[in-house]
């Protein structure tokens, strides 16, 4: 076997995990998760990704790798007023919707009809606050942040995928050398903690439905596109249904929704992984093995993030969402006729508006669709 296969899988796993773990920690904190529950969250989501990646790659003989929902984590992290039990209930509902989407083609077609511009405007509104918060750390903690920012923008010229990971690793080293980290936590084995779900109507509408929509629109559809661009013909329904099933099983242990990967998949599906497209599926088992290791030592990683300077966590989370923000904004304004609707979706979502206990992501999507419908009605009326 070529060494490029495990190497590509390892790099993809490291980039996906290290670049966005800060968001998972932020999401767990936002819903009031304890340290044990946060550890369980990380371990359970890693286990779900490991099992579904190994199974799907072996079953379909293509490099199907999965990831946690990065925009979904940002959505949860930006929410307020929800408990961890309500969040788990929302994760279960979102997982059931994913299973239904994979099993029933009409639902898949319905989701695909949501205007990409409005969905992207909503996604941009979710993540923009994290990117702005990262920018503010330059003033609050200049000694730590400015060198890391300079390194980030230089490294991304060579390797965009590794730039966020470098900031995380470099930030840990710099914080330790400057005495900002008193002592590194000891190695600790993870444990799973059962969290009894609570199915709150406001959490279902404010968390579950937006989580499902951003997972489908910005993750699963992108993941399928990456596989197709590499010459594969992925069966969309079964892939989505399997990720939904594993999300359902792992949710009671705190795990957020998992989905098809896009950036990580691009590392595993290209010729650098293996010249023969028929053998690139072997990256899947190695990717899964790496995430099993992450699951085993997730407790140590959570403990490490707990002792790091808060400005570093905010910086890593914001830089990790910089590329998704740029991509979402470009899609949102790509169609001139949709720009106002997409901008409304962005503005309402970014405002943090909460009405009837339901968060701004849902209202942003609704507002964007309403404006788009009004514009379409105006065009039809003018033609009569």
Q: What is the pLDDT of residues 181-214, one digit of tens each?
A: 777 777 788 899 999 999 999 999 989 998 998 8
Q: What is the pLDDT of residues 294-307, one digit of tens each?
A: 999 888 878 877 77
Structural domain tally of the chain? 1
Question: Is residue 378 one of the residues assigned to a domain?
Answer: no
Question: Is residue 340 one of the residues assigned to a domain?
Answer: no
- For residue 258, list its beta bridge partners: 68
The answer to whether 249 and 88 have CB atoms below 8 angstroms apart is: no
Q: What is the pLDDT of residues 30-70, one digit of tens each?
A: 999 999 999 999 999 999 999 999 999 999 999 999 999 88
CA distance 262 to 19: 14
The answer to whether 268 and 283 have CB atoms below 8 angstroms apart is: yes
CA distance 230 to 266: 8
Tokens, residue 150: 């300079």
Q: Whole domain around residue 105: which residue ranges?
A: 4-334
Question: Is residue 350 one of the residues assigned to a domain?
Answer: no
pLDDT band at 158 (very low <50, low <70, confident <90, very high): confident
Question: Is residue 352 one of the residues assigned to a domain?
Answer: no
pTM here? 0.77
Question: Is residue 369 one of the residues assigned to a domain?
Answer: no
CA distance 289 to 294: 9
Average pLDDT, the chain: 86
Distances (CA, A) of 195 to 33, 188, 252: 10, 21, 5
CA distance 207 to 79: 8
Give residue 356's pLDDT. Answer: 66
What are the counts of helices (DSSP H) followed by strands (DSSP E) for the chain? 19, 2
Which residue, among 170, 157, 133, 187, has the nearest Cα to 310 in the 3D structure?
A: 133
């Amino acid at each position: 076997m070529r060494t490029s296969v495990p190497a590509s899988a390892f790099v993809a796993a490291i980039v996906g995990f290290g670049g966005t773990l800060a968001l998972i920690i932020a999401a767990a904190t936002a819903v009031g998760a304890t340290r044990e529950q946060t550890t369980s969250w990380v371990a359970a989501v890693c286990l779900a990704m490991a099992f579904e990646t190994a199974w799907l790659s072996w079953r379909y003989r293509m490099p199907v790798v999965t990831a946690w929902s990065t925009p979904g984590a940002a959505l949860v992290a930006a929410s307020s007023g929800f408990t961890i039990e309500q969040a788990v209930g929302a994760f279960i509902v979102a997982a059931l919707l994913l299973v239904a989407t994979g099993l029933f083609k009409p639902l898949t077609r319905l989701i695909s009809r949501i205007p990409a511009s409005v969905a992207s405007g909503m996604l941009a509104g979710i993540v923009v606050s994290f990117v702005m918060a990262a920018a503010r750390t330059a003033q609050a903690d200049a000694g730590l942040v400015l060198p890391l920012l300079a390194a980030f923008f230089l490294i991304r010229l060579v390797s965009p995928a590794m730039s966020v990971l470098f900031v995380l690793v470099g930030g840990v080293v710099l914080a330790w050398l400057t005495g900002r980290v008193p002592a590194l936590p000891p190695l600790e084995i993870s444990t799973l903690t059962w969290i009894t779900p609570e199915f709150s109507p406001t959490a279902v509408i404010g968390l579950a439905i937006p989580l499902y929509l951003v997972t489908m629109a910005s993750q699963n559809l992108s993941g399928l596109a990456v596989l197709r661009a590499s010459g594969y013909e992925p069966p969309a329904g079964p892939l989505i249904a399997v990720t939904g099933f594993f999300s359902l099983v792992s949710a009671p242990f705190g795990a957020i929704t998992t989905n098809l990967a896009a950036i990580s998949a691009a590392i595993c599906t290209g010729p650098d992984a293996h010249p023969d497209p028929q053998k690139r599926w072997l990256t899947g088992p190695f990717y899964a093995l790496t995430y099993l290791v992450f699951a085993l030592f997730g407790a140590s990683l959570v403990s490490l993030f707990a002792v790091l300077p808060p400005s570093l966590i905010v910086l890593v989370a914001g830089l990790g969402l910089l590329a998704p923000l740029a991509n979402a904004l470009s899609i949102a304004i790509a169609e001139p006729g949709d720009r106002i609707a997409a901008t409304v979706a962005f503005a309402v979502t970014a405002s943090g508006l909460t009405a009837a206990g339901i968060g701004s992501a849902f209202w942003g999507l609704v507002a964007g669709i309403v404006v788009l419908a009004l514009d379409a009605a105006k065009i039809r009326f003018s033609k009569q």
